[in-house]
Structure 1
Amino acid sequence: MLSELARFSESAANRQNHLAEVVSTASDDPMRLLKAQADLAKFHIEMSLSSALARKGVSVVETLVKA
């Protein structure tokens, strides 16, 4: 599970760097900016979901430890 988390984290960092590069180089092309905005929105949703799942997982562990 930790290796999967590390792989996901590395993938997210790569996507974040790619999005930053696209945004900085696409400032003169409206279609590229629109695609970058859509990709960024998708990335944001995925990161929010991952964060929520991590919080739920921590909550489960805390509950089990208290029991």
Structure 2
Amino acid sequence: MTEFPKILMILGGVLFAAGLVFQLVGKLPGDIFVKKGNVTFFFPVITCIVISVVLTILLNIFGRMK
């Protein structure tokens, strides 16, 4: 029962950090944002590349731990 508060604290810290990181999503240079009249087009090119690289690195690190 004493592990539960520790898990909640870690989960809260992870969610807080994720919230800070996701504020940048979609605002990176290279993301396409076009607004004309009532039509808005958004394509996060660089954001997709950054997320792909980060996930690739994390999965490689965790894959080598086995």
Q: Which has the higher strand share?
A: 2
Q: Which has the higher helix share?
A: 1
Per the TM superposition, whether the score is higher than 0.5 is no
Q: TM-score, normalised by structure 1?
A: 0.41
Q: TM-score, normalised by structure 2?
A: 0.42
